[in-house]
Structure 1
Amino acid sequence: MSQSPKFPFVRTTLSCLIACIGQQVYAENEAQAVQTLDTIVIEATRTDRDVMSTPASAYYLTQEPQKGMNVNLSETLKGVPGLQLNNRENYAQDLQISMRGFGARSSFGVRGVRLYVDGIPATMPDGQGQTSNIDLNSLDHIEVLGGGLSSLYGNSSGGTILTTSREGQGNDSITLGYSGGSENKGQANVVLQGGAKNANEPSYILSSSYFDTDGFRDHSGANKILSNAKLTWDLDDGSKINWINNYVKIEADDPGGLTRAQWKENPKQVVGNVTKYNARKEIEQVQTGLTWNKPINDQNDIYAMVYAGQRSVTQYQSTPKCAYVDETDICKPNTVQLGKKHAGGVIDFDRNFYGTDIRWTGKEVLPNLKLIAGVAIDGMSEERKGFQNFIGDTQYGVKGELRRNEDNTLWNLDPYLQASYAVNDAVNVDAGLRYSNVHFKSEDHYITKDNGDNSGKNDYQKLLPSLAISWKILPELMAYASYAQGFETPTFTEMAYPADTDSDQNFNLKAAESDTYELGLKSSNMLGDFTAAAFYTKTQDDIVAAASDSGRSTFRNADQTVRQGVELSWNKNVWRDLTAQASYSYIDAKFDADIPEILDKDGKVTVAEIPNGNYIPGIAKNQAFLSLGWKPENGLRAGVDVRYSDKIYVNDGNSDAAPSYVVAAANIGYNWTVNDWAFNTFARVDNLFDKDYSGSVIVNDSTKPIGRYFEPAEGRNWSAGLSVTKAF
């Protein structure tokens, strides 16, 4: 029997916050000393509201002058409560991103969290996403939308992250930069930009960089080419066009995970199969997109977005050819890649993706009512093949015999409606409704007597309502309550291998469906900007990892899971150019019903039972962040930040966990201008106290005999850089 929502800790927390903040606001009003802060409008909810008036867990982060290598999103996206962002120290895999526990199961790429780059989806219709094409050198800001209202974006919306590039402005300029650091890290970059000179001419920003590193661990070297171009037209009729082009190419070795004993013995090491099969990944992606925004009149706007791209991936895994007879080099027949249904140790696919989003916004359709109506269409087609990663008994880490060959297609057509109604000056009601539907089809072309036809298709659909009510208790204090339904389909990758080894295809996986309740407070006053949110999410048929064995990850549905917690944040301009930021999040994420074991036809347990009450792996129960920075526009700047993460269970059985840790970082820099020249320098030390910790875990890895769950983080490391800008 599932538990009903319980909020005693929520009520207590929010009551205390209301009392404390309210007393402070009254005191400020009496003293007439309320500080006026700049208004930041957030676009994530499409209602163009001040971030402190948005009835959701919404955050806005401005990209600061460079104070790090500008390679990983984890350098910039810090201190957002509820957001867990782990660096795997593995450029062959993406960052591990989860929001309120959604997405934590992913052993590679991003799941459960929607990603957008300049308004263009970086997440496929089935929920697979990647951050590799986000260019930090031309980034302007990031918006993060957490909680139930992320269902405004449809499938796989445990949270939404939207990144926006800068627009060219002012005189033409060129910026040349170089930064380097530990493990032979190096990045060279160039940025060209300029504002429009005449009406109907574009402003532009063109950014390109090359990064390479030897990697912290053995066999973890990588290089990356990233280019981003954005042209912006502000036309005489009031419309605005952005044309965005992006190219990324990555070649990276894959060090894989370690057992606890291996990690403690030497965190830099890799297992023998990694080098024997030369585990690595090659990625190349190009995409283009247009956004167009036109005001028809004072009450009506039209927005349209269209995009297309192509992505190619070849990945050589460390999956062994076979299991060996103990203490011999004799292969056991029909084991691992020699198994009759194994798809091989090389993944090779070419993917085309495309889509559009068109919407109308009507202001004052009725008095105090804003309406938004739109439709989002996205599609993907790919040719996916699998090969053995060996030829005979002498060649390893090469493309061998074909073991998988399929064509996959995927599309969605999601109409949506939103309404925002101001009941009076203090109360506002926001509602949303989206019909999310995702259509899968796979055509199998690798059919043998031992490997049957695994073709299949499935359709998922769900009506996603959301409702939020906000109340401005005082001019500086707002409270809100919201409810939303969420929806997450399995990805093609998660359906590739069945958890039941006697089954051919995992097209019987169900979509996860969730209900989220949230209460929140926001206040902006002389003590800074405060936010507090308490949430409760119940999910039916949650998609959870079943096992990960020698490169084959399988998934199944959990009857019910529950996530509940509290998120707090605070930031303030303390004095002159001194700023402070702090955040804390608590997430209690558990299985809320027993999940039975899975047996094969011989009665052998292939996937273990998960008892009711076990903690969902990959999720830190407590996280905290604190930073202090001196940030003048010119001159000396410096900062320190400290991050705490609670222990993270590595599997559903909670048999082991990556320990909790505290890490600190410090940076210093100096920027100055001389006539048309501008100079920016920085030096930085991360993991200041050389903490030995596991930066992320491979959830439910079942490599025999002991799972290789742990991905050790880099020890104390440094970076430094210089950039020079010349304006013309």
Structure 2
Amino acid sequence: MIKPNRLAVLIAGAFPCLLSAAEVTLDSVVVSGSRVEHSSFDLPAAVDVVDAERIGAGQARVNVSEALAAVPGITVQNRQNYAQDLQISSRGFGARSAFGVRGIRLVADGIPASMPDGQGQAATFNLDRAERIEVMRGPMSSIYGNHAGGVIQLFTPDGKGAPSVETSLAAGSDGAWKADVSAQGEAGGVGYVLDTSRFSTDGYRQHSAATRDQSMAKLTFRPSEDGKLTLLANTFSQDAQDPLGQTWDAYRADPRSVAANALLYNTRKRIEHTQGGIAYEHRFGEQTIHLSAYAGERSVIQYQSIPRAVQLDNTGHSGGIIDFDRSFAGVSGRWSGRFGLADGQLTTTVGFDYEQSTDDRRGYENFIGTTLGVKGTLRRNEEDRVASFDQYAQAEWQGERWTFTGGLRHSRVAFRVDDAYLANGDDSGRVDYSKTTPTLAALYRLTPTVNLYASASRGFEAPTFNEMFYSSGGGSFNFGLKPSTSTHFEAGLKAYVGDDSRLDVALFEIRTEDELVVKESDNGRTAYQNAGRTLRQGIEIAVDSRWAANFTSRLAYTYLDAHYEQGFSYTTSSGATKVVEAGKSLPGVAAHALFGELAWKHPASGFHAAVEGIARSKVEVEDSNVDRAAPAYAIANLRFGVDRQYGSLKLRGFLRFDNLFDRQYVGSVVVGDGNKRYYEAAPGATWLAGVSARYSF
């Protein structure tokens, strides 16, 4: 074994530039991982911070895909379908989700945007007021509970200082526009941040128009010198047409086209979402107590394209319309303390999370007589409940050279179904899952500018209600699904290169048992099963640099080998059996992903410009890897902007061009679609322009 001192000499000889003094200006303060403020450079985990400048860098601030394109290990695909939300995956987890976010924990200002079963919606993130987004992958994310791939947390600032108001307007291709009005400041000791916006688009593809209204309010004040109280409220309302996926031939012939059924049944989705929360934090010297609670309601009605004949012929079918009203709530508490121990500092955290969600779920036929796309006969009526209760403890000891971190979390997720539609039998039932997941990590400060770390953990991912709704052969709830479990290993290097660059490298391996995969997909109904073992291995590299003449750059690369180690079989919509052999790639996952950006700013005039490049390798669309994969692609984007200050008035403007060379490519895929409509086309060359004005009183 090479001793640490000898290893330092070897690295110093190979990379002498790593030993020069570096200012900590390329570092960020994060709370992900340790749950207390922490330098990202000294955290033994792969974690990236996307700041407000990048979130709003010539963007409409509508989709989180705009902000996370530069994060290695994370793939955020815009489906060009607001009825199905973004497709977000972390090290391959979540790539299978047909809608919403699966396998990644979403949190906004401490309030989960993921439900207790693990399904989440990134669309509820308010990007207009975002101060930063923290993205953590790998073993350390298991301390956040029932998921496997990572954690994405959004934070908004506290209102402070003199009052200010801001308004912005952006417009671009395909009839897209967005207007936003906000105010922030502090009055009478109460900080406030208020924001409301409307977004509308005709959509790139036919039948993909959408309108979204979003508002938020955040109030903060200090009832005592050591206490802080925060009140949060958010609303989200959206109407969106659903263009569905495309077959390969339809995509090649006309990427803007839609399947005939989308028009016949007028596929669409309406969402109403409201939530509020309260958090209190109190410091007692080096100890802190944090308590929070939240509650909300979500209503969804979705018109699917399930053929009329299928619903009439199958008495077990639940109809072509999904209609549910959800109420959800949760409470959490944690205590953190810092103590001196053995010439170092020990930070400990103990806490709990309780979350529950109840759906009043109904299903209707999507026809009346020969009229399609209207609410017809009731075919489903039930109450679906899911609750989770987790307890966790973690500790970090930090010395002069070494940092050791350990954590333990116990998760229990309970599902219950009370069926009130008995014409096709009683589908009531319940199932509980529980798991204890440990985490261990160590970091060694090789030099003042080089940190090495290693970490390991166990992961736990329970089935979601969406994966339990159907069993094979036309049956209803599949209570026989097991949670998937995973073992994560990661090793990494974080280094400052000279005074103006930072390098982050992470190597990882993830072994999963009982991976959830499609067993049968037929006319809108998908049944799942547990497959055998899968293996994910890869490397993530990120380099941030500042150059002469006010140039900056970022490079982010991901290599991911994700494949099945055991074979399995499943049934297609035509009744055929497909065999998936060991060694086949997991669908929805690109082996290579690259992001590059070169930006320039002229401080005197406020003018800035940047060129971006994005490249991804091919993506398999189903488990057997037989059907045509979505091809590899590479695109270039260009943006310009200017920021000017005139006394109390700050003006901004930008102009953005995406896909400069008008490449036709598949932006995302619908994994395992039974109708072979796997492909979702990305736009060709598009433009977006925006202006904003902020006045401080």
TM-score (norm 1): 0.91
1:511 pairs, out of 483, 490, 494, with: 483
- Give the Cα separation in 1 of the matches to 2:460 and 2:577: 25
Report the CA distance shift for 1:678/1:108 in structure 2 as closer, same or farther (over 3 A): same
Question: SS where residue 76 of structure 1 aligns?
Answer: helix
Q: Equivalent residues in 2 for 1:90-239 (5 A)?
A: 90-194=81-185, 196-198=186-188, 201-239=189-227
Residue of structure 1 in register with 2:69 after alignment: 78
Residue of structure 2 in register with 1:390 after alignment: 367
Alpha-carbon deviation of 1:544?
1.5
Alpha-carbon deviation of 1:135?
1.3
Letter paired with 2:624 = G
- Contact 2:522-2:572 at 8 Å conserved across structures: no
1:351 pairs, out of 320, 323, 326, with: 326
Report the CA distance shift for 1:502/1:241 in structure 2 as closer, same or farther (over 3 A): same
Q: Equivalent residues in 2 for 1:455-474 (5 A)?
A: 455-474=428-447
- Give the Cα separation in 1 of the matches to 2:550 and 2:327: 47
Alpha-carbon deviation of 1:139?
0.8
Residue of structure 1 in register with 2:46 after alignment: 57
Output one character per residue of 1:137-170: Cα deviation in whole Å (capped at 9) or x when no partner: 1111000010121111100131100001122232
Question: SS where residue 65 of structure 2 aligns?
Answer: helix
Residue of structure 2 in register with 1:436 after alignment: 411
- Contact 2:617-2:633 at 8 Å conserved across structures: yes
Residue of structure 1 in register with 2:637 after alignment: 665
Residue of structure 2 in register with 1:626 after alignment: 596
Stretch moving more, 551-560 or 251-260:
551-560
- Give the Cα separation in 1 of the matches to 2:638 and 2:90: 26
- Contact 1:547-1:701 at 8 Å conserved across structures: no
- Contact 2:519-2:569 at 8 Å conserved across structures: no
- Contact 2:17-2:497 at 8 Å conserved across structures: no
Residue of structure 2 in register with 1:256 after alignment: 244
Residue of structure 1 in register with 2:578 after alignment: 608
- Give the Cα separation in 1 of the matches to 2:328 and 2:31: 24
Output one character per residue of 1:102-154: Cα deviation in whole Å (capped at 9) or x when no partner: 00110000000000011110000100100111111111100001012111110
Residue of structure 2 in register with 1:4 after alignment: none
Q: Which runs of 5+ in 2 are unaligned?
A: 2-6
Residue of structure 2 in register with 1:496 after alignment: 469
Output one character per residue of 1:395-416: Cα deviation in whole Å (capped at 9) or x when no partner: 1111001111110111111010
Question: SS where residue 151 of structure 1 aligns?
Answer: helix
Report the CA distance shift for 1:20/1:217 in structure 2 as closer, same or farther (over 3 A): farther
Q: Equivalent residues in 2 for 1:10-49 (5 A)?
A: 22-23=12-13, 26-27=16-17, 29=19, 34-37=22-25, 39-45=27-33, 46-49=35-38
Question: SS where residue 275 of structure 1 aligns?
Answer: helix
- Contact 2:633-2:665 at 8 Å conserved across structures: yes
Are 1:525 and 2:494 matched, yes or no?
A: no
Residue of structure 1 in register with 2:380 after alignment: 404
Q: Which runs of 5+ in 1 are unaligned?
A: 1-10, 12-16, 323-334
Alpha-carbon deviation of 1:631?
4.2
Are 1:723 and 2:692 matched, yes or no?
A: yes
- Give the Cα separation in 1 of the matches to 2:82 and 2:13: 49
Question: SS where residue 364 of structure 1 aligns?
Answer: strand
Question: SS where residue 700 of structure 1 aligns?
Answer: coil
- Contact 2:48-2:71 at 8 Å conserved across structures: yes
Residue of structure 1 in register with 2:557 after alignment: 584
Question: SS where residue 263 of structure 2 aligns?
Answer: helix
Alpha-carbon deviation of 1:577?
3.5
Report the CA distance shift for 1:417/1:719 in structure 2 as closer, same or farther (over 3 A): same
Stretch moving more, 279-288 or 43-52:
43-52
- Give the Cα separation in 2 of the matches to 1:28 and 1:608: 52
- Contact 2:210-2:239 at 8 Å conserved across structures: yes
- Give the Cα separation in 2 of the matches to 1:723 and 1:540: 50
Report the CA distance shift for 1:288/1:568 in structure 2 as closer, same or farther (over 3 A): same
Alpha-carbon deviation of 1:183?
0.5
Alpha-carbon deviation of 1:197?
4.2
- Give the Cα separation in 1 of the matches to 2:689 and 2:17: 45
Q: What is the percent sequence identity of the aligned residues?
A: 38
1:379 pairs, out of 333, 356, 360, with: 356
Alpha-carbon deviation of 1:545?
2.3
- Give the Cα separation in 1 of the matches to 2:235 and 2:611: 33
Residue of structure 2 in register with 1:8 after alignment: none
2:651 pairs, out of 679, 701, 723, with: 679
- Give the Cα separation in 2 of the matches to 1:585 and 1:320: 41
Report the CA distance shift for 1:607/1:404 in structure 2 as closer, same or farther (over 3 A): farther
Are 1:566 and 2:569 matched, yes or no?
A: no
- Give the Cα separation in 2 of the matches to 1:214 and 1:258: 18
- Give the Cα separation in 2 of the matches to 1:605 and 1:273: 21
Alpha-carbon deviation of 1:629?
1.4
Stretch moving more, 553-562 or 137-146:
553-562
1:712 pairs, out of 678, 681, 686, with: 681
Letter paired with 1:374 = G
Are 1:304 and 2:291 matched, yes or no?
A: yes
TM-score (norm 2): 0.95
Report the CA distance shift for 1:288/1:599 in structure 2 as closer, same or farther (over 3 A): closer
Alpha-carbon deviation of 1:716?
0.5
- Give the Cα separation in 1 of the matches to 2:581 and 2:665: 28
Residue of structure 2 in register with 1:635 after alignment: 606
Report the CA distance shift for 1:213/1:371 in structure 2 as closer, same or farther (over 3 A): same
Q: Equivalent residues in 2 for 1:297-336 (5 A)?
A: 298-322=285-309, 335-336=310-311
Letter paired with 1:81 = P
Report the CA distance shift for 1:48/1:36 in structure 2 as closer, same or farther (over 3 A): closer
Report the CA distance shift for 1:284/1:268 in structure 2 as closer, same or farther (over 3 A): same
- Contact 1:22-1:477 at 8 Å conserved across structures: no
Are 1:550 and 2:500 matched, yes or no?
A: no
Residue of structure 2 in register with 1:7 after alignment: none
- Contact 1:320-1:337 at 8 Å conserved across structures: no
Question: SS where residue 120 of structure 2 aligns?
Answer: coil
Which portions of structure 1, spanning 4 or more consecutive aligned residues, are displaced by more than 6 angstroms? 17-21
- Give the Cα separation in 1 of the matches to 2:164 and 2:15: 45
Alpha-carbon deviation of 1:70?
1.3
Residue of structure 1 in register with 2:622 after alignment: 651
Q: Equivalent residues in 2 for 1:361-380 (5 A)?
A: 361-364=336-339, 366-367=341-342, 368-380=345-357
- Contact 1:563-1:587 at 8 Å conserved across structures: yes
Letter paired with 1:554 = A
Question: SS where residue 139 of structure 1 aligns?
Answer: coil
1:702 pairs, out of 657, 669, 674, with: 674
- Contact 2:443-2:453 at 8 Å conserved across structures: yes
1:485 pairs, out of 458, 467, 475, with: 458
Report the CA distance shift for 1:107/1:576 in structure 2 as closer, same or farther (over 3 A): same
Question: SS where residue 580 of structure 2 aligns?
Answer: coil
Stretch moving more, 644-653 or 18-27:
18-27
Question: SS where residue 138 of structure 1 aligns?
Answer: coil
Output one character per residue of 1:159-215: Cα deviation in whole Å (capped at 9) or x when no partner: 100001122232111111111000010111101111x345xx211111110111110
Residue of structure 1 in register with 2:263 after alignment: 275
Output one character per residue of 1:487-531: Cα deviation in whole Å (capped at 9) or x when no partner: 001100110011x21644211000000001111111123251111
- Give the Cα separation in 2 of the matches to 1:236 and 1:290: 17
